[in-house]
Amino acid sequence: MLAVELALPGGELVRLGAEGPEAPGYDLRGLVVGSEGTLGIVTAICVRLTPIAPAVRTMLLDFPTVADAAATVAGVVAAGVVPAAMELLDRRILEVIEPYVHAGYPTDADAVLLVEVDGLPGGVAAEAAVIERVARRHRVGSIQVARDEAQRARLWKGRKSALGAVSRIAPHYYLHDTVVPRGRLTEVLARVYEITGRYDLIVVNMFHAGDEAGGVLSGEHGIGLEKRDLMPLLFGRDRGSDRSRLPRRGRRGRCRRKGRRAPAAAGRRAHPPGQGQPEPGGRGAGADRPRPPG
């Protein structure tokens, strides 16, 4: 997203960002994107379009442990390869996806990586070779390469149908979306499994892997009401207070999304450490937690 046109609460239209190089000054475009609709109404958006790559290779790699798959993610990025897509799915979600979609996922693996690289043919071949080399250092079982567009579509259909497949476990589920640093992915997933085992919870893990640089409360689904009051645990109360003051500066109207305020302005306190706060590890970069009936 390069630029936005924003209607302020007082009715004024402003343009933030630029179509060309980064606009000088504060990143107000980024502020609007992160505000989740509390600063005004976006009436127009300018986005950057990229050409379709001439070559693509889709790979499915299976591993005996989630730790091996997670280590491969870190190793691929450390080797300088940033795939167009890299998805990690654990055994629990594989066991519900495959009977549901018949995508060709191995159900005897503890985890799989669905990886796609694209670009010029020579570059695609070189990056695929690096991925295979790293995976073999981490006990990869088999490596499937989609032989045609039909198989590629089938592999991706499995991932895209994952949430629908969860209904085979329970009619309702609770989605957690966070971002975990690549270097701590193995640690966080181990913690997630330990916590869910202790409390007898049904949890499946599936997430984008390889593009997480640092830990945050949400990867792509926003903060919303649930995580709003936990923000001080990550950012500190001073930064939360700064965020709550932003809508007041130079504004004649009010925020349009009632109740979607920063934690310091929400009238509720986040739990201090050690006093009822959620277990660390949360979602482990992207688990979907089904709720059993009743």
- Choose the final residue of a domain: 134, 169, 204: 169
Helix (H, G, I), strand (E, B) or coil at 6: strand
Cα–Cα distance between 126 and 281 in angstroms, integer?
35
pLDDT in tens, 7-40: 998 899 999 998 887 767 888 998 888 777 888 9
Domain total for the chain?
2
Tell me, rounded to whole angstroms, the distance of Cα 127 from its chain centroid: 23
Asked whether the beta carbons of 103 and 60 are under 8 A apart, the reply is: no
- What is the DSSP code (8-state) at residue 279? P
Whole-angstrom distance, CA of residue 16 vs CA of residue 39: 13
Q: In angstroms, what CA-CA distances link 228 with 26, 246, 268, 280?
A: 24, 16, 10, 16
Q: What is the CATH number of the domain that holds 142?
A: 3.30.70.2190
Sheet arrangement for strand 3-7: 13-17, 3-7, 41-46
Task: Identify the burial level of 218 via C-beta atoms within 10 angstroms of its C-beta, where 0-12 means exposed, 13-18 middle and 19 or more buried.
Answer: middle
Place of tokens 């997670």: 70
Q: Note down pLDDT in tens along the chain; length 294 residues.
A: 899 999 998 899 999 998 887 767 888 998 888 777 888 999 999 999 989 999 999 999 999 999 999 999 989 999 999 999 999 999 999 999 999 999 999 999 999 999 999 999 999 999 999 999 999 999 999 999 999 999 999 999 999 999 889 988 888 888 877 778 877 888 888 899 999 999 999 999 988 886 565 566 665 666 666 677 777 777 776 655 455 555 554 445 555 555 555 555 444 444 444 444 444 433 333 444 444 443
pLDDT score, position 263: 56
> What pLDDT, on the 0 to 100 scale, is given for residue 239?
54
pTM (two decimals): 0.73
- For residue 208, what pLDDT is reported? 84
Tokens of 268: 């509720």
Which one, of 115, 98, 285, lies nearest residue 205 by Cα?
285
- Burial, 98: exposed, middle or buried (Cβ in 10 Å; 0-12, 13-18, 19+)? middle
Of 129, 144, 169, the domain-final residue? 169
For residues 63 and 156, membership in a common domain is answered with yes
DSSP 199: T
* Residue whose tokens read 């923000």: 231
Rounded to 5 degrees, φ, ψ at 5 are -105, 125
Note the pLDDT of residue 245.
57
Regarding whether 154 and 69 lie in a shared domain, the answer is yes
* H helical segments located in the chain: 28-34, 66-78, 91-101, 121-137, 149-160, 162-165, 185-198, 224-228, 231-235, 237-245
pLDDT of residue 86: 94
Same domain, 41 and 125: no
Q: Is 85 part of any domain?
A: yes
β-bridge partners, 136 = none
Using the structure block, give the residue that is written with the tokens 């970069």: 285
**11 and 81: one domain?**
no
Q: Which domain holds residue 33?
A: 1-49
The Cα–Cα gap between 152 and 271 comes to 46
**In this predicted structure, what is the pLDDT of residue 254?**
54
Return the pLDDT at 3: 92
Q: 60 and 139: one domain?
A: yes
Which secondary-structure segment (H or E) carries 174? strand 172-175
The arrangement of strands across the sheet holding 287-291 comes to: 143-145, 55-63, 111-119, 85-90, 204-208, 287-291, 172-175
Same domain, 27 and 69: no
**What pLDDT is attached to residue 145?**
97
**Position 261, amino acid:** R
User: Based on the domain organization, do 63 and 140 belong to the same domain?
Assistant: yes
Class of residue 209 by CB neighbours under 10 A (exposed 0-12, middle 13-18, buried 19+):
buried
